[in-house]
Amino acid sequence: MAKKDDKIFRLIYTDELTKLYNRRYMRDFLPKIIEEASRVGRKASLFVFDIDDLKRINDQYGHLAGDKALVHFSRLLYNATKNLGLVFRYAGDEFVAFLLGLDREDAKRFGEKFLRIIANSPMKFGTQAIVVMCSIGVSVFPDDGRDVWVLFEHADEALFRAKRRGKGTIEVFPMKGKLLTPEKLNIMLANPPVIAQHEIVEFLERQISPQGDKNVFTVIFGGEGTGKTRVLRYAQELAEKKLAFNLFLIGKSIWNNEPYGAIFQALDHLFWRRPDIKEMVLGRLEEDELELANARFSMENGDFIDPLKSSQTVSIKVFEMLTKMMIHLKSLGDGAILIDNIELIDEPTMQFLDTAFVHDESSKLIYVATVNAPDITLCDEMLIQKLRLTTNIAANAQIKKLELERFSVNDVQKLVGSIFDGEKLPPEAAEAMLRSSNGVPLYIIESLSYLLQSGKITVVGDRWDLSGIRADDIPVSLEDILIRRIGCMEPETLNVLKVATILGDIIDVNEISAITGLNNQLVVDALHTAERSLFVESASNPEKFVFSHRVNKAALYQALDEQEKIELHKKVAEYDEKLSRKRFIAIGRLAFHRQFFGQYREAVDLIERLEMGMQSVIIPDRVRQLLQKRTFLDALAEKRELTNEDFEKVLTICRNMRAAIQNIRLYPI
């Protein structure tokens, strides 16, 4: 059994080629190592290594030489670091090391020493001696961040600076905490400040707090690209500071085929960020519930609940398990439920969120949702449609609707200044950007992305230079920007993204690999390149990505010519045809393909099967109420070891009872 477990561990957590730990191991275990370093007050450094000119080695000597170069480099890196910490293959030609006990100066010395080692250790390939060099970026714990991904981003920024300075160099993230890296769009522009939404910001700062009104259900609405998600992320930042926990649910059309998909994705992301909460919540589940939870969180292929095969009994078990998990979460204190694009949340998840809206005295849940609606009328229509399955929210919540404001020219300059260290656009360029964008933040961010990629925004010394931007440099529409940005992509990245647009909202590395014939690592490399260009975002599962915005996906699909669309739909349809026998989710995609080929009767039949399947997992209100009561009583009665705090409470109660009895004796009624 132990050997079998070891084999499974190696399959999950090691890179097949280099035998180093992989990105999944880094995600699952490095946060715990950082937490321990923080507890004991120990310094550490995070290194990102990027092999220089691996593509040249592949092109000149073949892919066998490229693979050998990766193995050669990984062995040198492992030998240099094995007594200092851990090393991982992150993606393609990129490696990460977390080395304990190294401060900023130590890290720089180690990096310089390692560059000398690899310079003097060429790889033998046939009669050739090939020197495999690298560039290195470094960040220092805890000075540059206490979170693994913050440290990684800073080290990655430093790496890009090293690449720009000349390959075979090391750059340490500076003490002042700022590097100018125009190539790193995902770091520069992915999390812009909230501008122009003063009323909404002030309300959220009051509401997302222990003093917030638990009966208020806040709805923020606006049209496409008006900044709804960014405002909701700001609400999450407030919740991180002021509340015990938060769940961030993201509405996707794919959830129409995946019951409870939205809530499980939110829990998965919470557990990824907070392993302590994961340990507490899962540790309090019964054995059969834990198996059910692990089945969902470790799911790779195959549906968790297949509505075409599962009875309502399975849905009830899942509902009970989720209810118990929420009870344990609420035992931590007040929390927030943040729902992006509520109109796309699946109905079973909405039922569960409605049940969770019932408040107890011990803690509260603050609800904030966004709706993709350009006006109040459409917002109301979408809310009525989505809340029709709820009883508690519909009957008891005070719905507060807040509309997002569009930008003025001053807001445009304020946003630009916040990103580019106080530098502003020339007035005529700012006016052109406002006219073209109609004050929509997404357009402005995409415009800035394009201006960076096209070299219109440059770095001079240690300052940004925006002075050369003219009014006619500003693209005239969002579609124009995205088409120009797509044109700047490398062919490998573009080919992977084309398949992703046909597959849907979730970009699954394994699915793209199966359809294209590319190995998983090449797919991951292409998606990381797209991530740096702010086109996709990584999910908590290292083998899954999502488009940064639905307009990115739409633009890629529109960029395909008709022949490409036909060929890609055929490829994906063949894959989904096989998959639909095992996975409910593939039926939805098959309906999409049938519509594309004009097979409307077949598409309607598939859609009817989907609707019938989803209805089979909906739990009647009366049953939900009974389940909630039973689960709450079960959670209260669960067995656990008594703590010192429990004993102190018992002693206090005994002392109070003794005093009360004495008072009765002294002063009988």
Residue entry with tokens 């290195």: 136
Percent of the chain scored above 70 by pLDDT?
80
State residue 579's pLDDT score.
67
| The dihedral sign for the CA sequence 73, 74, 78, 84 | positive
Contact indicator for 314, 284 with CB cutoff of 8 Å: no
Which two tokens mark 267?
């829990």
Residue entry with tokens 């075409």: 308
Q: Do domains 13-177 and 198-403 have the same CATH topology?
A: no
State residue 182's pLDDT score.
54
Which two tokens mark 559?
């960029």
| The dihedral sign for the CA sequence 95, 96, 100, 104 | positive
pLDDT band at residue 306 using 50, 70 and 90 as cut-offs: very low
State residue 51's pLDDT score.
93
Which two tokens mark 36?
């321990």
What average pLDDT does the segment 29-50 reach? 91
Average of per-residue pLDDT values in the chain: 82
Q: Is the pLDDT of residue 98 over 80?
A: yes
pLDDT band at residue 664 using 50, 70 and 90 as cut-offs: low
Which two tokens mark 45?
């450094």
d(CA 410, CA 422): 13
Instruction: Enumerate the domain spans of the chain.
Output: 13-177, 198-403, 409-476
pLDDT tens column, 589-623: 666 667 676 776 766 666 666 566 555 556 555 55
Other CB atoms within a 10 A radius of the CB of residue 390 amount to: 20
Percent of the chain scored above 90 by pLDDT?
35
State residue 261's pLDDT score.
84
Non-local (6+) Cβ contacts of 650 within 8 A are: none
Backbone angles phi, psi at 16, to 5 degrees: -60, -40
State residue 639's pLDDT score.
45
Which two tokens mark 144?
């540059």
Q: Is the pLDDT of residue 291 over 60?
A: yes
| The dihedral sign for the CA sequence 240, 244, 245, 246 | negative
Beta bridge partners of 370: 220
d(CA 590, CA 383): 29
CATH among 3.40.190.10, 3.30.70.270, 2.40.50.140, 3.90.1200.10 for 13-177: 3.30.70.270
| Per-residue 3-state assignment (H helix, E strand, C coil) for 62-81 | CHHHHHHHHHHHHHHHHHHH
What average pLDDT does the segment 277-303 reach? 73
What average pLDDT does the segment 350-362 reach? 80
d(CA 136, CA 117): 14
Helix, coil or strand: residue 149: helix
Helix, coil or strand: residue 100: strand
CATH among 1.10.10.10, 3.40.50.1970, 3.30.565.10, 3.40.50.300 for 198-403: 3.40.50.300
DSSP secondary structure letters along 15-70: -TTT-SEEHHHHHHHHHHHHHHHHHHT--EEEEEEEETTHHHHHHHH-HHHHHHHH
d(CA 476, CA 604): 39
Query: Higher confidence at residue 318 or residue 315?
Result: 318
Report the predicted TM-score, pTM, of the whole model to 2 decimal places. 0.72
| Per-residue 3-state assignment (H helix, E strand, C coil) for 108-145 | HHHHHHHHHHHHCCCEEECCEEECCCEEEEEEEECCCC
State residue 170's pLDDT score.
94
State residue 199's pLDDT score.
93
| Cis? peptide before 142, omega within 30° of 0 | yes
How far lies 86's CA from each of 98, 220, 540, in Å?
A: 5, 44, 21
Angle at 435 between CA 559 and CA 228, to 5 degrees: 70
- Which region among 52-56, 233-237, 584-588 has the lowest average model confidence (pLDDT)? 584-588
d(CA 202, CA 143): 31
Q: Across the chain, how many H-helices and E-strands are there?
A: 29, 18
How far lies 470's CA from each of 377, 436, 451, 488, in Å?
A: 39, 14, 11, 21
pLDDT band at residue 403 using 50, 70 and 90 as cut-offs: very high
State residue 84's pLDDT score.
92
State residue 120's pLDDT score.
95
